[in-house]
Chains A and B, each alone.
Chain A
Amino acid sequence: MERRDVLDRGPWYENKWWLIVLIVAFFAAPLVFGEFYLTVLCEALVMSMLALSFNLLFGFMGQLSFGQAAFFGLGGYGVAMLMTKTHVNFWLSIAAGVLVAAVVGLIVGFFCVRLRGIYFAILTLAFGQLVFFIIFKWHNFTGGDDGIQGVFPPPYLKSPVSYYYFILLVFLGSTYLLRRIVRSPFGQIVKGMRENTIRTEFLGIHIAKYQLIAFVIAAALAGLAGAIWVPFYRSVAPSYLTWIKSGEPVMAAILGGPSLFLGPVLGMFIMTFFHAWVLGFTVYWPVVMGALILVIIFFLPGGILGFMQEKLKERETRKQRGDSDEFAEDAGDIKSIR
Chain B
Amino acid sequence: MSLLKTQEISKAFGKLLAVNRVTLDIRQGDIHAIIGPNGAGKSTYFNLVTGYHQATSGRVLFKERDITRLPAYRRCVQGITRSFQITSIYPKLTVYESVLMALVCHRGVSLNFLSPATGFFREEVWRILEEVGLAEQAHAQGDSISHGDKKRLELAITLGTEPELLLLDEPTCGMSPEETESTMSLVRKLCKDRKITILFTEHDMAVVFGIATRLSVLHQGRLIADGTPAQVRASEEVQKVYLGGAA
Interface residues of A (CB under 8 A from B): 3-4, 6-7, 180-181, 183-189, 191-192, 195-196, 198-207, 210, 213
Q: Are A196 and B89 in contact (CB under 8 A)?
A: yes
Q: Are B101 and A202 in contact (CB under 8 A)?
A: no
Contact with A along B107-120 (1 / 0, CB 8 A): 00111111111101
A192 engages B90 (CB within 8 Å): yes
Binding site for A on B (CB under 8 A): 50, 71-74, 76-77, 81-82, 84, 88-93, 96-97, 100-102, 104-106, 109-118, 120, 122, 126, 135, 138-139, 157-158, 160-161
Give Cα A184 to B97, complex, Å: 12
Residues of B within 8 A of A198 (CB): 84, 88
A277–B96 Cα gap in the complex (Å)? 46
Q: Find out whether the CB atom of B105 lies under 8 angstroms from the CB atom of A205.
A: yes
Listed A/B pairs (13) with beta-carbon separation below 8 Å:
A7-B96, A7-B118, A185-B109, A185-B117, A186-B111, A187-B113, A188-B104, A195-B92, A199-B88, A201-B72, A202-B82, A203-B73, A205-B110
Q: Of the candidates B93, B112, B115, which one forms a contact with A191 in the assembled complex, judged by CB atoms under 8 Å apart?
A: B93
Residues from chain A with a CB closer than 8 A to the CB of B76 are 201-204
How far, in whole Å, are A195 and B112 apart by their CA atoms in the complex? 20
Chain B, Cβ-Cβ closest to A207: B73
The answer to whether B100 touches A188 (Cβ under 8 A) is yes
Bound: A109/B168 CA distance, A? 35
Cα-based distance from A204 to B70 in the complex (angstroms)? 12
Q: Which residue of A lies closest to B119 (CB)?
A: A7
Known: A3-B138, A191-B93, A206-B73. A181 touches B105 (CB 8 A): no
From A4, A191, A204, contact of B73 by CB (8 A): A204
Report B-chain residues with C-beta under 8 Å of the C-beta of A188.
97, 100-101, 104, 117
Cβ 8 A contact of B157, one of A4, A183, A203: A203
Chain A residues, Cβ within 8 Å of B111: 185-186, 213
Residues B114 and A203 in contact, CB atoms below 8 Å apart: no
Give complex CA distance A192, B113 in Å.
15
The answer to whether A203 touches B113, judged by C-beta atoms less than 8 angstroms apart, is: no
- Knowing A6-B139, A185-B117, A187-B117 are in contact, say whether A201-B110 is a contact too (CB < 8 A): no
Chain B min CB distance to A21 (Å): 24
A187 to B109 CA separation, bound complex (whole angstroms) = 11
Does the CB pair B113–A180 fall under 8 Å? Answer: yes
Q: How far is the CB of A155 from chain B (nearest CB, A)?
A: 35
Once bound together, how far apart are the Cα atoms of A207 and B97, in whole Å?
A: 19
Chain A residue nearest to B167 in the complex (CB): A202
B73 and A205: CB pair below 8 A? yes
Chain B residue numbers with a CB within 8 Å of A201 are 72-73, 76
In angstroms, how far is the closest chain B Cβ from the Cβ of A74?
Answer: 23
- Out of B84, B96, B104, name the residue touching A185 (CB < 8 Å): B104
Instruction: Quote the shortest CB–CB distance from B161 to chain A (angstroms).
Output: 6
Known: A199-B89, A204-B73. A185 touches B115 (CB 8 A): yes
**Further 5 A-B residue pairs, CB within 8 A, beyond A184-B116, A185-B112:** A7-B122, A185-B111, A185-B120, A204-B73, A205-B73
Is A204 within 8 A of B122, CB to CB? Answer: no
Contacts of B126 in A (CB 8 A): 4
**Whole-angstrom CA separation of A184 from B118 in the bound complex:** 8
